[in-house]
A and B are shown apart, each in its own frame.
Chain A
Amino acid sequence: MTRTSAPGVRVKDLTVVYKTPAGELPALGGVSLSLAPGTITGIVGESGSGKSTLALSLLNAVQPPGRIKEGSVEIDGLGNVVELTGEELRRARGRQVGYVFQAAQNSLNPLKTVGKQLLDLGRSHDFDDLPALLKDARALLGRMGLDGGRVLDSYQHELSGGMRQRVGIMFALVLNAHLVVLDEPTTALDMITQAAILKIVRDVHHERGLTTLIITHDMGVAAEVTDSLAVMYGGRVVEHGPTTEVLGSPRHPYTKGLIRAIPRLSGDIDEARALPGRPPTLGTIPKQGCVFRERCPLRIAVCDTVDPEPVTRDARTVACHAVGHLATPVVPKEYV
């Protein structure tokens, strides 16, 4: 049941908890998020926002002591990933969902050449036509500006950071997955290399007709490549909408604060303002009320007790009591 077109993804009320000595703590507190087929979605958040946990949930790959407590992740052509187990899950990873891990630069096996690792991957997914797989890989690497044949014959240490990152992307795509998750694709890369990688991500996305999810802490990276942007804080998606709109006219006070806290090359640099307070960790996420209220300039009484519901209007979703009255609740639009 290999699909050849971009799948849509619908995450509903996803709650992921981590078991700690202090009990089960929620890393994701009821997250709902839709990825429209064929788009690049960015998830921006700081450490502890739950963005990486959300990415892992798309593969049902949350590792103990974490577990998916409730909610569903529907991927077109795969069904509810949360209910997949064992062999089905293993086959889905790679075939349908490609994943480029955080620090993909360091996730290659140092003892095997890239080509050997590729063949291992093909065999583990029961690929009959291994030469075709190699040919695809060479073509993909060539597309990304590398000498495919040489790279496949290389060991990890023979490749630069930017080259390894491209190899990581190749691995995610070579089994013909149409949903690709990139976790911090450009951390630890230089500006010029970062720009090159982001361009490749965008080009390959369009050429192969993918649905792409990019997890990053860097607003600039998200702004550069994504169509739609979700901002996460304390295990919640606090704002989601088309990238230019979210950046141009942010609604949630956290998004606003975050954008203002980024020094830019254009405009008056002295307008940059720091966000007070610090992001919550797993143990300090408030049990009730809004997760952002400690740092919020718009805090009102209700924020202390009630967790704001995400409200969608004009394709933009915001979870905030203070700005919620601007929007009238409507049924969230679903991508079919």
Chain B
Amino acid sequence: MTVTSPVAPAPISLRRNFWRGVGRVLRRKPSRMVGVAIVVLFVFMGIFGPLLYPNPLPRDDNALYASPSWAHPFGTDFEGTDVLALVVTGTRYVLLAGLATAVITVALGTAIGLLAGFHRGRWDTVLMRLTDLQLTIPGLPLLLVLSTVWKFTSPIEMGVVLGLLGWGGIARAVRSQSLSLRERGFIEAAKGLGLPTRHIVVRELLPSMAPYIAMNMLIAVTGAIYAQVGLFFLGVLPFDANNWGVMLNLSVFGGGALSSTAALPYLLAPLLAILLLTLGIVLVVDAMDEIFNPRLREE
């Protein structure tokens, strides 16, 4: 036991320790670094992708459904547009919508779950009935109906709708977590010391649930990506936006990718992008528990 550690635990040094710890956790497994690299790549494409290509994307009428080549690594589509360019420029919509969904599900789910679990009693009953109500809303049919009046041109709109349809699960999970945490000694001690409820919920309860919430958030992102791509694929939503789902739809229903090989790269490119992004997120999720638990972070 060394008693030579520096004193003065200023908040700044704590913060720095946290990020150093995060770095350590990520380096612990190569898979996590790969995950981070993939996610960073997609974020980069989402931010800068549209700037790399002219708008609208150039068409080449002489190369409809061209095979992969150096000029077009994933071939071209029915209009002769480069598939890679479509995938890259389509990233922004997908990511933004996914992120918006995740933020809304997590914010709503956590707030409602915490409130219900911590206060119990009447609050609990009301909020949980509300959650049940949310969970019983059939998402797809509702979206089908909504899409007849709403075009979802902005990814944020898309995200808000998906988010409002998806917070119930997290609310239930967070509630059961806080129900068990509130029986812990340190929560009782905080109450006994007269600490305000805001402090107890934000400073004591929330950090203990952080890994849980972070994991749910990342999983919500992947869920949202599947959902919106699915909607576009089904053709429920208009083809205004440049989107991976639209690509899938056109390759299958327009290009006949399932029966001929010509449109195959056009089908595979967005699929690959979805799989890669999901893989990246799943690899990062693996690190969440260790990042938010000081014991696992430092060992």
A positions within 8 Å CB-CB of B: 21, 278, 284
Contacts and interface: CB of A to CB of B under 8 A. Distances in A.
Q: Chain A contact residues: over half helix, strand or loop, or mixed?
A: loop
Interface in B176-232: none
B299 A284 contact: no
B1 A21 contact: no
Nearest to A277: B1
Interface string B256-299: 00000000000000000000000000000000000000000001
Nearest to B1: A284
3 contacts: A21-B299, A278-B1, A284-B1
A284 B299 CA distance: 15
A284 B2 CA distance: 10
Contacts, number: 3
Interface string B1-31: 1000000000000000000000000000000
Interface in B136-189: none
Contacts of B299: 21
A18 to B, nearest CB: 14
Nearest to A294: B1
Contacts of A284: 1
Contacts of A21: 299
A284 B3 CA distance: 14
A21 B296 CA distance: 13
Contacts of B1: 278, 284
A286 to B, nearest CB: 11
B115 to A, nearest CB: 34
A284 B1 CA distance: 7
Interface string B23-49: 000000000000000000000000000
A21 B299 CA distance: 9
Nearest to A281: B1
A37 to B, nearest CB: 42
A278 B3 CA distance: 14
A101 B1 CA distance: 32
B168 to A, nearest CB: 31
Closest 3 CB pairs of A and B: A284-B1, A21-B299, A278-B1
Nearest to A284: B1
Contacts of A278: 1
A204 B28 CA distance: 52
Nearest to B299: A21
A137 to B, nearest CB: 38
B112 to A, nearest CB: 34
A295 to B, nearest CB: 12
A225 B274 CA distance: 67
A63 B241 CA distance: 57
Nearest to A280: B1
A250 B14 CA distance: 48
A316 to B, nearest CB: 32
Nearest to B28: A21
A117 B1 CA distance: 46
Nearest to A278: B1
